[in-house]
Amino acid sequence: MRSETIIKARMQAKGLFRQGHVDAGKTLADMASELEKIANENALLRQKMSELLEVTKGYQEWVMAVPGDLALPAMPGLDGDWASNVMDAAQKALKQEPTDNAEGDCVMTPPPSPDCHRHILRKGI
C-alpha cells in the first residue's frame, strides 16, 4: 500500500466532512484507517519474508556443503531444489510493489476478499 494513497484518502475524508457529508467522510476515514493497518501488516510480512529468505539461503548452503555421495537425513521434499524454489518465490514476492490495478479503481494487488468494501479504497467516493 502506498502511503500517498492513504494520505489522499484522509484528505478526501476531511473534504467530505467540510462539505457536510458526515457519513461519507466517516466511512472514507474508516477505510483510510483500515488501509493504513493493512499497509503496516504488509510491511511486517515483507520483513518476515526477508527473514525467511535468509534462513532458506542458509539451509541451501548447508545442503550444498554436504558431499553428494553422503545421504542426508530423511526429510522428504526438503532438498536443494526446494530451497531454490522457496528463495525464488520469496525474492519475486519481495520485488513486487503494491500498485493500483489495471481498472484504476483499487489500491490492492491481491484479489479482493468477499468483504473488499472494507479493505479497498475506491477512487472517487
Question: Is 124 within the bounds of a domain?
Answer: no
Question: Is 90 within the bounds of a domain?
Answer: yes
Question: Is 123 within the bounds of a domain?
Answer: no
Contact 49, 12 (CB under 8 A): no
Q: Note down the domain range covering 79.
A: 3-118
Instruction: Give the residue with greater pLDDT, 14 vs 117.
Output: 14
In the chain, the number of structural domains is: 1
What are 7's three cell numbers? 494520505
What are 14's three cell numbers? 476531511
pLDDT digits over 53-103, tens only?
888 888 888 777 877 776 666 566 666 777 788 888 888 877 876 554 444
